[in-house]
Amino acid sequence: MFLKRIALAGAVSLMGSAAFAACSYENEVPVKSLSAGFEAWKAVTDAMAECGNFQAELDQEFRTKQPAAFEANPSLYQIGGVSNGTITPLLNAGTIRPLDDLVEKYGQNLTPNQLIRINGQIMAIAMMVNTQHLMYRSDVLADLGIEVPTTWDEVYAAADQIKEAGVVDYPLGATMKSGWNLAQEFVNMYPGFGGTFFNDDNTTAVNSEAGMAALETMKKALDYTDPEVLVSDSTYVQQQFQQGKIAMANLWASRAGAMNDEAESQVVGKIAMSAAPRATADGAPATTLWWDGIVIASNISDEEADAAFRLAMEGLDTEMVASANDAAIWLVNGYQPTEIAKGAIETATAVPAPPAYPSTTQMGLLHTALGNELPAFLTGERDAEATLVAIDEAYTTSAKEAGVLK
């Protein structure tokens, strides 16, 4: 619910060690962070770097690196950039610390929506909301007389027209890179057909009519995408847009700001955003709602934790938002929604609304099973029915090993 309320209202970057006037103090304790590499994280870590003694590693593979890095003693990083989809392994391993005392000491400018509580304790500070929504070339659709699609059937009908017109290399971009990205595509589409991920006994429920519908709808995209779509992640699709190669994509809201970056984009002012397409005409947008934010490692000294959290608060202040307003849909005070937030806000406030991504151990195991088993379906090695059976079996095996199933 807080997402709706808010909606309404591997490169490594080493930051400089010198303190600048923009920071309210000089940090004297070495601090390192590991997070994703999209624009919002660049803005936040740049702001932290102004205080000195800070190194930020911005890496799209952060989710696979963080568990081991934070389990080291001492932890390899003091600050972690997480989301509701990546925090669970850190929570289960006990490698991040409660933040209640640090919030009381340094969190005067935080809002209640930013405090992520697990079992009553503040375990993360959210900085932004995120979701996948439809991004499209407004000039291409207007020139061809195409209405903005609101369902996946309409997306594919529009893609047919664009393909016939031959005005771009590919009508569609898609984040279908084998592994996590492809799994997320299923996680977005499946609830749109009314599917639930788990039964009451923690077995998975994806082997269902909704699962079949989700797979068949995903596969239709291959008629309109780059043939190399199984290596296509968010950065790849962002660059396809920026280079004028595609006309539509269901892409993360955190990528919207880059479309108008004159240093990178050839389509400044030509990309518009609307709600994520619905899988069915009367259903919710086929996507999930996310937050991104920071956590502090357990395996560090209290002095380091104090310094890291204070630094994080400097990175999440109103001055940072003022200088990077369009980099994200911020939860930080001072954020002013603009046109590029339109699609994410329409998605989050839709009726019915899409679900929040579940931050559970079961979901993490299912996400991995999906990422491992879905590529064989898209390459034609396995049909939809056999793919759902394989996903069920892979999840069941890992869930038993994890003690989630008996």
- The answer to whether residues 217 and 153 touch, using CB atoms and an 8 Å cutoff, is no
pLDDT of 10 higher than 50: no
Measured CA to CA, the distance from residue 229 to residue 5 in angstroms comes to 35
Which residue, among 297, 294, 296, has the nearest Cα to 73 in the 3D structure?
A: 297
Of the given ranges (133-137, 163-167, 260-264), which has the lowest mean pLDDT?
260-264
Report the DSSP beta bridge partners of residue 311.
Answer: none
Radius of gyration of the chain (CA): 21
Mean pLDDT, to the nearest integer, of 189-202? Answer: 96
Q: What is the pLDDT, as a whole number, of residue 357?
A: 93
Which residue, among 84, 180, 184, 97, has the nearest Cα to 127 in the 3D structure?
A: 84
Q: What is the pLDDT, as a whole number, of residue 238?
A: 96
- What are the tens digits of pLDDT across the range 24-51? 899 999 999 999 999 999 999 999 999 9
CA distances from 263 to 41, 235, 241, 258, 323 (A): 18, 16, 14, 9, 17
List of E strands, 92-245: 115-118, 121-137, 170-173
pLDDT of 19 higher than 70: no
pLDDT of 20 higher than 50: no
Q: What is the pLDDT, as a whole number, of residue 6?
A: 44
Q: What is the pLDDT, as a whole number, of residue 22?
A: 78
pLDDT of 82 higher than 50: yes
pLDDT of 1 higher than 80: no
Mean pLDDT, to the nearest integer, of 274-291? Answer: 96
Which residue, among 158, 174, 154, 265, has the nearest Cα to 226 in the 3D structure?
A: 174
pTM: 0.84
pLDDT of 14 higher than 70: no
N-to-C CA span, the chain: 33
pLDDT band at 85 (very low <50, low <70, confident <90, very high): confident
The burial of 239, by beta-carbon neighbours within 10 Å (0-12 exposed, 13-18 middle, 19 or more buried), is given as middle
pLDDT band at 253 (very low <50, low <70, confident <90, very high): very high
Percentage of the chain exceeding pLDDT 90: 88
Mean pLDDT, to the nearest integer, of 132-150? Answer: 98
Cα 26–chain centre separation: 32
Measured CA to CA, the distance from residue 233 to residue 179 in angstroms comes to 10
pLDDT of 16 higher than 80: no
User: Please, what are the domains in the chain?
Assistant: 31-129+290-341 (3.40.190.10), 131-288+352-402 (3.40.190.10)
Cα 49–chain centre separation: 24
pLDDT band at 386 (very low <50, low <70, confident <90, very high): very high
Q: What is the pLDDT, as a whole number, of residue 54?
A: 98
Which residue, among 35, 380, 38, has the nearest Cα to 230 in the 3D structure?
A: 380
pLDDT of 216 higher than 50: yes
Measured CA to CA, the distance from residue 38 to residue 35 in angstroms comes to 9
- What are the tens digits of pLDDT across the range 87-119? 999 999 999 999 999 999 999 999 998 999 999
